[in-house]
Chain A
Amino acid sequence: MSTSHLARLERLGKQINELECRHVFGSVLAELGGKDERIVLVTADQIGTHGGRAFEKNFPRRCFNLGISEQNSIGVAAGLALSGRIPVVLLYGFLVARCAEQIRDDLCYPGLNAKIVTTSSGLAMGPGGVTHHCTEDLAILRSFAGLTIVQPGSRLEAALAAEEVVGRMEGPAYLRLYRGFYPDTVEEALAAYYKKAGCFQAGRALTLRRGGDVCLVASGLTLAPTLEAAAELDRGGIQARVLNMHTIKPLDVEAVTTAAAETRGIVVIEDHNRLGGLGEAVAALTAEFCPCPVLRVGVKDCFSAVGPMESLWERQGITTSEIVRQAKAIAKGEIHAC
């Protein structure tokens, strides 16, 4: 691995130390803003909550707080992009539904270089209640042609993804972040991976664990129970491959089809409605090109409830034990529709 890559990881590690993920993103954005004056920030009264203060402090003229008006914010971002700027729109994830048509018509259809960043993935805002849960955004946005969708699984990966998506990638993109601290186990696993294997590449899944019995595909926060499940399966003699599918779209076709061919089936674990999310993307791909059993762990097409995220996950079966149960069913060929 190149010295510069390792030095970059070390520098990022120091930069994000003790920062919640939203502030990790904000810190990277402020740094990118210093390198590229085209980058501007657009938000709908949500600068502070999504970590935009650092950018605002450094570049007040390039920060547009449009008040509580999400449709307008996306349209304004489109105009800024047309004028040659690179707008980054900070939003709560659940608000994607509100301005979906603007994202489709104003950003994706003209193929503008604009980025949407949310910091409240899935059920993360548990006590906020159903209105603040973000469990349909992927279903909506996956169907918009030309939109890249990235969901990092750790703060380091969020920093790397932000550098890639905002700093280098052309075209419209959606970055789906968690607000706080990702579990240490995953943080460490991904840090080790990037140290060994190199740069973040949109559209290229990370193989975090090798195995030929079953494949577990996870993204974002669900990597933690997924890695725990893989370890437990291992103790029971089942070798689970684990893919970190940090890019939901474009899906890593090679990683999925290879897993379909080399294992007995796939379990997809996501913090999203099981309709329309990553699980459905994997199921559709395999059904077309390499049929294999695909089971989905995620929100069961229902509105959740008020409660701590962990409890809501428990209710939806987004747990280590449920992943293990589903993976065993695949490994043993004992799948039953219910």
Chain B
Amino acid sequence: MADKAATLRRRAEETRLLALRALYESGGGHFGGTLSEIDILTVLYEEILNIDPRRPGWNERDIFILSKGHGAFGLSAVLCRRGYFQADLLMRAKSLDAELGWHTTAKIPGIDFPTGSLGHGLPVAVGLALGFRLTGRQSRVFVLLGDGECNEGSVWEAALSASKYGLDSLVAVVDRNHYSMDGPTEEILPLEPLADKWRAFGWAATEVDGHDIGALMEAFAGLPLSEGRPSVVIARTVKGRGVSFMEGKAEWHSRAMSTAEMNTVLAEFKKRGITET
């Protein structure tokens, strides 16, 4: 497991750099939330989800919904590394009819549902889990929420529904990077105690370091956290993780990166032994 974690750690770093290159080429986008989610997504797509990149529409696959749709570049970079498509798709986000934009579209191979506006993913995931249960399909449904997104009432409407139906095939992961667009979540609209809120809504909850690959693997391997209840994994992350001048900086939620800044990014990754392939 330690070897596997080391491999995935390196893969996640390479994916970060790929996502940063794509964001740079696109002329703008969401840096902070992309970098905070990549370790989570790498573990899910490399180790946990029952998927087959050669058959994106395989009808026994697990489903993943990126409810924080502004993390589109992070998810797309992970899908690319997983073999769903070639990297050129990531680099043409500025062109007309691009598959990839600042939010997900269903034109990207491997993405089942388009997202962008917040508070939509969890209700859809609940519907999927209910539908699969009706037909006896064994697939699990994963959804990644932003922590700021948990300000949305619809998230909690859906949380109540999942609890009512005891959807233990449903897993919500919260990218707890502590920032929304205007600043720290605990200043904008406090969320803590977040895990207890989910528990009060009938979910089984656990908290994990969202950048500790081994801890993420362990947490996801233990799903469902409780039989007959939906699971939520609150992954404590750092917004802008992996780039010194982006970490914990609200202004990197969404903006453009200059060529000089991209060169700094490349130098920082090179120091850690990661270069573009």
Residues in chain B within 8 A of chain A (CB atoms)? 63, 106, 112-114, 116-117, 119-120, 122-132, 134-135, 137, 153-154, 157-158, 160-161, 164
Contact = CB atoms under 8 A, between A and B. Distances in A.
Closest 7 pairs (CB-CB, A-B): A79-B127, A75-B123, A83-B131, A72-B157, A69-B157, A76-B127, A79-B128
B134 A85 contact: yes
B158 A75 contact: yes
A67 interface: yes
B-side binding surface: helix, strand, loop or mixed? helix
A84 B127 CA distance: 11
Interface string A73-86: 11111111111110
A41 to B, nearest CB: 12
B128 A82 contact: yes
B203 to A, nearest CB: 15
Given A75-B123, A75-B154, 19 more contacts: A40-B134, A62-B134, A67-B161, A69-B160, A75-B126, A75-B158, A76-B126, A76-B127, A76-B158, A77-B127, A79-B129, A80-B127, A80-B130, A84-B135, A101-B117, A105-B116, A106-B123, A106-B124, A110-B114
Contacts of A235: none
A102 B120 CA distance: 7
A62 B130 CA distance: 9
B117 A105 contact: yes
Contacts of B160: 67, 69, 72
Given A72-B158, A76-B161, A83 B117 contact: no
B130 A71 contact: no
A-side binding surface: helix, strand, loop or mixed? helix
A37 B75 CA distance: 35
A109 interface: yes
Contact of B126 (A61, A67, A79, A109): A79
B132 A78 contact: no
B112 A76 contact: no
A43 B130 CA distance: 14
B153 to A, nearest CB: 7
Given A66-B161, A71-B119, A72-B154, A83 B124 contact: no
A64 interface: yes
A79 B124 contact: yes
Contacts of A66: 157, 161, 164
Contacts of B130: 64, 76, 79-80, 83
B59 to A, nearest CB: 9
A61 B134 contact: yes
Interface in A30-84: 40, 61-62, 64, 66-67, 69, 71-84
A109 B114 contact: yes
B127 A82 contact: yes
A78 B65 CA distance: 13
B223 to A, nearest CB: 19
A78 B123 contact: yes
A83 B127 contact: yes
24 contacts: A64-B130, A67-B157, A69-B157, A69-B161, A71-B119, A71-B157, A72-B157, A72-B158, A75-B122, A76-B126, A76-B127, A77-B127, A78-B113, A78-B123, A79-B123, A79-B126, A82-B63, A82-B124, A83-B127, A83-B128, A83-B132, A85-B134, A105-B116, A105-B120
B51 to A, nearest CB: 16
Which of B127, B130, B153 has the most chain A CB atoms inside 10 A of its CB?
A: B127
A82 B131 contact: yes
A176 B106 CA distance: 30
Contacts of B123: 71-76, 78-79, 102, 106
